[in-house]
Structure 1
């Protein structure tokens, strides 16, 4: 094959620190402050326990992702796993449904950024901030993954500095009034409080979305079969520690949501309580940085997910598998995600969050189904716990989160799924045309 027609390949540049930084940025850890008042209201002051329930529910799914990426260390995530293990037709539909989560996260970050900036510049229309943020993160991702990752890493570091200051101020406040500290037994629910925990946990699942997203970075990661699995577990456990510590301190200071003037926007009240208007300014600045970092990471991941489907022929190859010769980035995909994210102008946070939850839960379910399907397909059964029990528990917990979704999430997700079915039928000519297959070495057996 001559050089003029040779396919440009992704360049492996990412190490563990880069992958973890992208994962944490994708998780948008500062969102813990945005959701605290709402979840405290829903769970009657049991936010740390709600985070722990989410962690348990996603831990088994994280183990399934870890297992599958060890076998298939190539970008594509749940789409790729479903294709290789179950069936290409199922993979196209799963990829379609899952993509809605990757697409909606840049929308959420743009909307949140517009909220923060509009509070400081009320005379500037919100659409200006939405378009500005999307344009900025699109340009950064177009330049190259190394520059986008470096910027992301620094944005994550700055956020954690502000969080450390926040924790210090909380501890100072609690030490001066020890009676405020929340005993551990107060985090245990009464029988009447159990029904409120699942809806609260469902609202918080978005906080852990990130450990799964990094599986789309395999093509650009050095030794992905080792790096990505370790990063998945590190992100899940790191997220648990971060969220539980921060919410435990906040719940100790504010045991119930009735103490806020507006529990849906409790974080500014908490910041002013701890450090006055000066800390509030730093706090809001860090929240804006969180939106930018998460926007960068989510657009980066979404473009790689589209690239994997385009490379495989599930989407038009000429567009979706194209890599820029110099930057080695899926340029068209980045622009497409940016344009689609601009539809945030016509959505609100509730609708965008509904899209993320539906897509994320769909992906979680099928990752566990893939491991279970592979287990039953093999005549010689592999290890029972990691190949059957853990993915089964992951599927059960995902099912509990599914039934906790609000009707709007199910309605929007159902419409998106129907569109995916129409796309699948039309592109396969009523299942007469097989999708293009991939050929690569599978590094290990399951």
Structure 2
């Protein structure tokens, strides 16, 4: 029987669009109240700090995706360059952020819809949203990408509209009362620890640039992947910084907001009135659906690779639908998990997500060193030392700083998840009597191109 593999149907900008959709540019307004409180009013500085960390890590992702052009991301890189067992733990940790992000999108949709229709039970919105996103992802990756691109364009137009209205409001004396001000970046009451804590929160916003590596087996040309990663980081980072700057200039503190857990609806109201609030919510809704589509697709592919490798039950997780050529079982499973968005808070889930993301970022940097320095001996020139040793060390070190500033609940929840994964690995390997390395992926199969 002929193996059914993922379909190569994605060009450069389709992949960048999926990355931006995953990142959800409007999330800067959702988390603004949380981050402004954490940083004492320097949200754009927190984004700049996080961007600096992400750039070094993005370069490492770009190097590794060329070496291992298969889906799986940090899991694959760690498995192949350092140790298969450690690779499983990294993949398991990455699952925490990948599988929770679709739930975050469902949670945000719930918040939006309840704010507009408070009389309708919250679970109806969650179930309806999850059902639609799951169905589209099962149907076609190409259809997922096309719809995602339209939604991303719509949300970028609305962010542009927000910036124009912010110009007007600032010139009229709102907030700082001036368009050009250093207050959102620096003032006398800021502290490095608070900025780093804020950066750990907003690094959640950047999750998406790494997720584009999950589409490596569906890219028309694998050589476009490093460029797609860097474009996603730079474009996303620029949007976060500019939008965060204007939001902070308009709202120097959070005293004007009734709900700080999700400030987007009130920001839209204060800046443009009721009509713009509704339009802004529509854009945010579109952004959340785009992120839902992209994040749902990404985690389904990570589960697919782990299933294909045999570290998860291959018959279920390694299954590709013969007609749609999508990992249908995984897509449906992620949809079921997303239904848990009926009750938790945005701040709690976003903090736990960062635990898994930072583990993945750390080990991608370390995998560069393991592969190029220890395996290929690329340390004999100054250029190689800088590219394959110093750069990833800086990336891992900066990620470590964010690690140190994670919230305690994120650490506890993440460690609990790692313990569960370790116990599962012991069971799967019969206490290491069976080597995970023996469950080797067929690279020819994984990189085959189908029309």
Sort the Cα spacing of 1:39 and 1:350 in 2 relative to 1 into closer, same or farther, 3 A.
closer
Shift of 1:315: 1.3
Runs of 5+ in structure 2 lacking a partner? none
Which residue matches 1:195?
193
Which residue matches 2:135?
139
Which residue matches 2:169?
173
Which residue matches 1:384?
385
Which residue matches 1:361?
358
> Is 2:242 the partner of 1:245?
yes
2:443 alignment partner, SS class:
coil
Distance 1:86 1:21 in 2: 31
How many residue pairs end up in the alignment? 438
Q: Is the contact between residue 181 and residue 253 of structure 1 (CA under 8 Å) also seen in structure 2?
A: no
Which residue matches 2:114?
118
Which residue matches 1:304?
301
- Equivalence map 1:390-409=2 (5 Å): 390-409=391-410
Which of 153, 158, 165 is matched with 1:162 structurally?
A: 158
2:128 alignment partner, SS class:
helix
Shift of 1:259: 4.2
Sort the Cα spacing of 1:82 and 1:54 in 2 relative to 1 into closer, same or farther, 3 A.
same
Deviations 1:19-40 (A, max 9, x none): 0111011001111001112212
Distance 1:413 1:172 in 2: 44
2:311 alignment partner, SS class:
coil
Distance 1:293 1:379 in 2: 42
Distance 2:259 2:72 in 1: 41
Shift of 1:351: 3.1
Shift of 1:185: 6.9
Q: Is the contact between residue 110 and residue 133 of structure 1 (CA under 8 Å) also seen in structure 2?
A: yes
Distance 1:400 1:6 in 2: 48
Q: Is the contact between residue 354 and residue 412 of structure 1 (CA under 8 Å) also seen in structure 2?
A: no
- Equivalence map 1:5-404=2 (5 Å): 5-177=1-173, 179-184=177-182, 187-188=185-186, 190=188, 193-224=191-222, 226-374=223-371, 375-381=373-379, 383-404=384-405
> Is 2:443 the partner of 1:440?
yes
Distance 1:109 1:30 in 2: 12
Shift of 1:90: 1.2
Deviations 1:129-161 (A, max 9, x none): 111111110001011101111111111111111
Q: Is the contact between residue 4 and residue 322 of structure 2 (CA under 8 Å) also seen in structure 1?
A: yes
**Does 430-439 or 184-193 show the bigger shift?**
184-193
Deviations 1:233-284 (A, max 9, x none): 0011111211111111122222223344444443333222221101011011
Deviations 1:64-121 (A, max 9, x none): 1010001111111011111110111111111111111110001111111011101111
Q: Is the contact between residue 378 and residue 388 of structure 2 (CA under 8 Å) also seen in structure 1?
A: no
Distance 2:134 2:441 in 1: 29
Q: Is the contact between residue 106 and residue 341 of structure 2 (CA under 8 Å) also seen in structure 1?
A: yes
Sort the Cα spacing of 1:264 and 1:271 in 2 relative to 1 into closer, same or farther, 3 A.
same
Distance 2:316 2:246 in 1: 49
Q: Normalising by structure 1, what TM-score?
A: 0.94
**Does 169-178 or 414-423 show the bigger shift?**
169-178
